[in-house]
Amino acid sequence: MLRTLVPAALLLAACSGVQTAAPQRPSELLFISAGNHALAVYEATDGTLAGDLPAGAFDATLTGGGDLDEAYVAADDANLYRVRAGRPLRVDRIDPIRGAPPYQAALVPAPRLTNFVGGRTVLVVKGADGSLFGFQAGRQIWREGVPQESQLLRVDAAAVLGYEGSWSLVAPESGLLTPLAADCPDAPLADVRGSLVFACSTTSPPGASLALPAGPAFDLRPVARDQSVVAYPSGDWFRVDPGPRISAQGHGAGGEGRPALSPDGGTIYWPASLSARALAVSRDGNYLYALGAGGLRVLGASDRKQVANYRSVAGGEIVLVAGG
């Protein structure tokens, strides 16, 4: 089962009178949605603004240590930008996008690429006019056409395209579409070792059907574990292991905003329990970031005591926590 939020070690320390120093807050960046397709980036240590990103579709990957690796914005001004961590944050215009904004974007691994620069990844971008592009290190490598009303999503390591209840896997190397599910109004809930998990029954590999409630739901990923915790605003949660199969389930406080998962996958932190709009956890697992009407609160993960409150930080969702 997932743990409760009052660890036995904390109770033992309180009973024995042992005083433990609070760990130092990590130096990391919080990417927070700011409305109008824009993101603002804040320092977790003091809440100062590190930079604003162009309005548009943002996606990023992290290194194994949780630092910002690749990050891009397919901007509403019809340009592609590369985002690099630093002080100040660096945003470089790369190239025009030959499709109509606004865009949707998914940055995913592309293991079958034979020619690439840097990481073996591709940024898949869909335009409002139905254009579908693949960019490798900022350079366009293919272009296809899809229905204008289709929806591009990133589900962990997969780029998925949905249209009128049908879902397809996008091959990042070429744009080739592989059918995943039909007559399925909800998007895939998780990607577990290459299986795209749906709550509907009409799937074909690598799509997979499990007895899960229909979405919306949040795909929460532990660090260094090939599994997903699918969490619903109702508070219901399901752990999905490779297979895929449901290995555990339970119920928590829920909440409409995005919950957070401890790095080991053992604890879900729910927005409703912390009066927050959205939550995120620090890379070391010691702190929670709770975004709400009163700004951004920094809480101890073990006891949920407030250690800082950045009232000037506003937004709808904590999109990413990254070092850099």
- Confirm whether 207 is domain-assigned: no
206 pLDDT higher than 60:
yes
Residue 221 CB-density burial (10 A; 0-12 exposed, 13-18 middle, 19+ buried): middle
126 pLDDT higher than 90:
yes
Q: What percent of the chain has pLDDT over 90?
A: 83
Confidence of residue 34 (pLDDT cuts 50, 70, 90): confident
Q: What pLDDT is stored for residue 225 in this prediction?
A: 78
Q: What pLDDT is stored for residue 22 in this prediction?
A: 53
Confidence of residue 87 (pLDDT cuts 50, 70, 90): confident
110 pLDDT higher than 50:
yes
- Confirm whether 106 is domain-assigned: yes
Confidence of residue 304 (pLDDT cuts 50, 70, 90): very high
Q: What pLDDT is stored for residue 296 in this prediction?
A: 96
Confidence of residue 23 (pLDDT cuts 50, 70, 90): low
227 pLDDT higher than 70:
yes
- Confirm whether 320 is domain-assigned: no
Confidence of residue 13 (pLDDT cuts 50, 70, 90): very low
298 pLDDT higher than 50:
yes
- Confirm whether 33 is domain-assigned: no
- Confirm whether 48 is domain-assigned: no
31 pLDDT higher than 50:
yes
Q: What pLDDT is stored for residue 14 in this prediction?
A: 36
Q: What pLDDT is stored for residue 36 in this prediction?
A: 78
Q: What is the extent of the structural domain holding 157?
A: 97-182
Mark residue 105 as left, alpha or beta (left: phi above 0; alpha: psi -120 to 50; beta: remaining): beta
- Confirm whether 43 is domain-assigned: no
11 pLDDT higher than 50:
no
CATH code: domain of residue 124: 2.40.10.480
In the block, tokens 């693949």 appear at 134
pLDDT tens-digit map of 310-324? 999 999 999 999 987
43 pLDDT higher than 50:
yes
Distance (Å, whole) CA 81 – CA 103: 13
- Tally the domains of the chain: 1
37 pLDDT higher than 90:
no
Q: Please give the average per-residue pLDDT across 38-63, as a whole number.
A: 94
How big is the chain, counted in residues?
A: 324
Mean pLDDT across the chain: 91
Q: What pLDDT is stored for residue 276 in this prediction?
A: 95
- Confirm whether 174 is domain-assigned: yes
- Confirm whether 119 is domain-assigned: yes
18 pLDDT higher than 50:
no
Q: Please give the average per-residue pLDDT across 128-141, as a whole number.
A: 97
Q: What pLDDT is stored for residue 247 in this prediction?
A: 96
CA distances from residue 23 to 110, 289, 299 in whole angstroms, order as listed:
38, 15, 12
Confidence of residue 176 (pLDDT cuts 50, 70, 90): very high
Confidence of residue 309 (pLDDT cuts 50, 70, 90): very high
50 pLDDT higher than 50:
yes
20 pLDDT higher than 60:
no
